[in-house]
Amino acid sequence: MPNHFQPITIDDFEALAQKSLNAAIFGYFSSGADSEMTLQRNRQAYDQLLIRPKILVDVEKIDISTTILGQHIQTPIGFSPTAFHQMAHDDGELATARASASLGTCYCAATYSNYSMDDIQKAAQSISKDALQWFQLYVEKDREVTAKLVRHCEKVGYKALVVTVDRPRLGRRLIDTRTGFKLPSHLRLGNFSNEDDDDDARTGEGAYLTGHIDASLSWADLAWLRSLSSLPIVLKGIFRAEDARLAIQHGVSGLIVSNHGGRQLDGCPATLEVLPEIVDACKNTNVEVYIDGGIRKGTDVFKALALGARAVFIGRPVLWGLAYDGENGIKRVLNHLNYDLRLAMALAGTTSIDSISSDYVVPSSYYSFENKIKSKL
Ligand SMILES: Cc1cc2nc3c(=O)[nH]c(=O)nc-3n(C[C@H](O)[C@H](O)[C@H](O)COP(=O)(O)O)c2cc1C
């Protein structure tokens, strides 16, 4: 619930969420794997890139709308899939879907949502018939369960299948072990029957979920996934150029450079560090590249777009907005980031998403005194 303290940054929203949520739930949302090195690196990478503004550019009118997979969106900032939104607010994913539809962005609903994909889709459609939603998929050991989910999500109107490929097993989240995090007993997994739920199965995200996820998933299964629907496939969790090339050969339409918000392999690079090699691998193809992880400011969005991302996605900031004030809280978070992006664009001397190019950014080492002095020797 809003209180007298008015959040004006994403960190403010996070601080308020920390106050309002119980420690186990806040820990589940906020934490990363193991020593959280990658979680921190995702943020730090943005600080290591500097923006070189152009001056005397007419920035009276700024347009942040763009397209992804041919669909128009009002902002290049979409919502990453995150599980269990009802732990943040009773309206859960329905609030997320309505906020996303109201502001004209793309919401990627998670397999492990508390509301069903049907209800989430209806919530978005109640705001706008053009609402854009993608469906994030974990492939289950029981392939028939997955096949049904895929066919159903196409039928109810999701526009892409986002296959998460960085989680054959659950990363180790020390905080969850320490707090004994469980999905609260009144909450359900909206896309599953919940018949085999018992208390043990709810311990950690891991027990139920990892038990069901198919760790044998490999490139060979992409043909099967493609056969289930005509939806474009986006792989989420890509990290290497050679994997990007394989993905292109296997007919994917998009790649999300993601390390699951630092929640899986601790010690892998920040997503921003990996982005250029993936963008390069997809050059001269129709495959779009997106990024998530650590995006908290308009300048972060600007930097990711400058390095070649077609759009960015945010995970935790949505949860902080949801915890703050449901649908309105998420709208405030996105409105804030949109404002911040427009401001960054105006100050950098750009007016459209397409005009944000790599020549606007340099690594901070470019300006180091050491470099400058050496170059004079
Ligand atoms: C609480 C939480 C739950 C998540 N659940 C999922 C999920 O169910 N499926 C998935 O593909 N990614 C999941 N992710 C990863 C996000 O999609 C995304 O990659 C990450 O949150 C982006 O980093 P950011 O939170 O720093 O923006 C989750 C992340 C968080 C924080």
From 263, 296, 318, the mutation candidate for ligand 1 (largest count of ligand atoms within 8 A of CB) is: 263
CB of 235 sitting under 6 A from ligand 1? no
Q: Is 260 a catalytic residue?
A: yes
Which residue minimizes the CA distance to atom 15 of ligand 1? 260
CB atoms within 10 A of CB 265: 16
CB of 258 sitting under 6 A from ligand 1? yes
Question: What is the Cα 70 distance to its own chain's centre?
Answer: 19
Q: Is the pTM of this model over 0.85?
A: yes
pLDDT of residue 226: 97
CB of 360 sitting under 6 A from ligand 1? no
Beta bridge partners of 292: 313
CB of 236 sitting under 6 A from ligand 1? yes
Task: Calculate how far, in angstroms, residue 261's C-alpha sits from the geometric centre of ligand 1.
Answer: 6
Q: Give residues with Cβ within 8 angstroms of 21, minimum separation 6.
A: 29, 87, 88, 323
pLDDT of residue 245: 98
Using CA atoms, how far residue 88 sits from 189, 198, 286, 315, in Å, is 15, 22, 37, 13
Tally the C-alpha atoms within 13 A of residue 21's C-alpha that lie toward its C-beta.
29
pLDDT of residue 197: 54
Domain 10-376 - what CATH class? alpha beta
In eight-state DSSP terms, residue 168 is S
Blockwise average pLDDT, block size 10, the chain, 377 residues: 79 97 97 98 98 98 98 98 98 98 98 98 98 97 96 98 95 94 94 65 52 91 97 98 98 98 98 98 98 98 98 98 98 98 98 97 90 72
pLDDT of residue 202: 44
Q: Is 362 exposed, middle or buried (0-12, 13-18, 19+ CB in 10 A)?
A: middle
Q: Is 374 exposed, middle or buried (0-12, 13-18, 19+ CB in 10 A)?
A: exposed
Which among 89, 212, 260, 336 is annotated as catalytic? 260
